[in-house]
């Protein structure tokens, strides 16, 4: 018999504070899978009316699926988190859009009726597993000129995008980066971020003193409040001599995890679960790998067309800041000002960090918080560029929308 597509909702989302990758980072002594476990346990703690036995799936993304990020994370992290052994799980890899893809994958199952409720998220421990660790790209990519060699280096693709948009200067990128830091600092000061963070206990080692102890991580490590244009002006351009991409106008190398509950709206209402966002449409698109930062533009065009909406209908944007130029290219394409108040109201990855496969759910938790505060906004979107030439966009509807307010 024919099936009816069901409404899919974002129930709740959490994340660990994001850390700096490397031996000096907060998570240097912490396993990647333990970060996911903490996120899952926090979701269950915050939503006591969700019976773990009713969870139909656990989808967890990681870009580098080896070591403590391997072994079918969705299944193993679920067991480690204390979910019943009857709850299945699996892993996903779509590089930067891993967690976003985990959400859309389980959302498709919910809409089809295969699931009532599922967990979706992602993790990246770039300190333990740098992007590309252990991979062996086929030499045909370069020898047969299937892609430009720069496609294998994300920073070089950002320089290529600057070439495509000569009006996006290094100064504009730096100005955008400063605003991201300022907005993130303000969001912290206003208590907007902490509500969805999972405190993580970590082991700290002071090699100089020969001491080892434990601490509690409650804030994002990469943030650089007080960043100025003068600070950024003198930074090196590691991907090209006299280039435009620096450590100051790009996200860093980071560690962290996210998790979310995705359900049918009927299931959420029947089980007394919050409904923070309603899924409208989602789309993925491929672009030239050497300008992967362009990806959000065609992905958004597809998602808008599927929803019967235009860019003017979108009242809030959460755009992943892999590089400032990637966000600015999106805004320039759609005629949106660099400092438009609808864009990344709490700041973005340039400030918080971008642990690759986990970041998609961070965008969603921030958008959900903004929806709650702004009932006059009806539609928002989360979008990301993806390594090797892709873009990903999800359009969401605000369940708190007040029809008497602004139709945006």
Place of tokens 């090699």: 207
Is 28 part of the annotated catalytic residue set? no
**Residue in 96, 125, 129, 162 annotated catalytic:** 96
| Separation of CA 356 from chain center | 7
Helix axes 324-333, 154-164, angle to 10 degrees: 30
CB 249 within 8 A of CB 176: yes
CB 394 within 8 A of CB 282: yes
Q: How far apart, in whole angstroms, are the C-alpha atoms of residue 73 and residue 241?
A: 40
CB 376 within 8 A of CB 406: yes
Is 376 part of the annotated catalytic residue set? no
The dihedral formed by the CA atoms of 247, 249, 255 and 258, expressed in degrees to the nearest 10:
180
Place of tokens 């969603």: 364
φ, ψ of residue 90 to 5 degrees: the values are -155, 175
Which of these, 383, 362, 392, lies nearest to 18 by C-alpha position? 362
Any idea what DSSP says for residue 33?
H
Is 354 part of the annotated catalytic residue set? yes
Query: Which residues are marked as active site?
Result: 96, 354, 385
């Amino acid at each position: 018999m024919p099936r009816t597509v069901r409404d899919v909702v974002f129930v709740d989302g959490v994340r660990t504070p994001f850390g700096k990758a490397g031996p000096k980072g907060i998570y240097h002594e912490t396993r990647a899978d333990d970060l996911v476990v903490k996120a899952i346990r926090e979701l269950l703690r915050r939503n006591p009316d969700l019976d773990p036995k009713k969870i139909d799936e656990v989808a967890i993304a990681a870009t580098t699926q080896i070591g403590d990020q391997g072994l079918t994370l969705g299944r193993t992290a679920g067991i480690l988190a204390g979910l019943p052994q009857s709850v299945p799980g699996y892993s996903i890899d779509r590089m930067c859009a891993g967690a976003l893809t985990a959400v859309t994958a389980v959302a498709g199952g919910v809409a089809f009726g295969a699931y009532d409720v599922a967990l979706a998220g992602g993790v990246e421990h770039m300190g333990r597993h740098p992007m590309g660790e252990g991979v062996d790209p086929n030499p045909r990519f370069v020898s047969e000129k299937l892609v430009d060699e720069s496609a294998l280096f994300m920073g070089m693709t950002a320089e290529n995008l600057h070439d495509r948009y000569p009006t996006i200067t290094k100064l504009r990128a730096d100005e955008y980066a400063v605003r991201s830091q300022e907005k993130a600092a303000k969001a912290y000061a206003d208590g907007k971020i902490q509500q969805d963070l999972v405190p993580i206990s970590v082991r700290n080692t002071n090699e100089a003193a020969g001491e080892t102890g434990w601490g509690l991580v409650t804030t994002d490590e990469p943030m650089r409040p007080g960043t100025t244009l003068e600070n950024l002006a003198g930074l090196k351009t590691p991907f090209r001599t006299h280039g435009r991409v620096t450590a100051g106008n790009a996200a860093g190398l980071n560690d962290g995890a996210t998790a979310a509950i995705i359900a049918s709206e009927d299931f959420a209402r029947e089980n007394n679960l919050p409904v923070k966002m309603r899924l409208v449409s989602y789309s993925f698109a491929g672009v030239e790998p050497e300008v992967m930062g362009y990806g959000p533009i065609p992905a958004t065009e597809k998602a808008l067309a599927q929803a019967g909406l235009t860019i003017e209908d979108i009242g809030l944007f959460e755009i992943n800041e892999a590089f400032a130029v990637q966000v600015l290219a999106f805004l320039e394409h759609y005629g949106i000002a660099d400092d438009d108040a609808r864009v990344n109201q709490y700041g973005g990855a340039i400030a918080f960090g971008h642990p690759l496969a986990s970041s998609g759910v961070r965008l969603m938790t921030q958008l959900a918080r903004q929806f709650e505060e702004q009932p006059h906004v009806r539609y928002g979107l989360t979008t990301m560029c993806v390594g090797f030439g892709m873009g990903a966009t999800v359009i969401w509807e605000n369940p708190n929308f007040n029809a008497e307010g602004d139709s945006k």
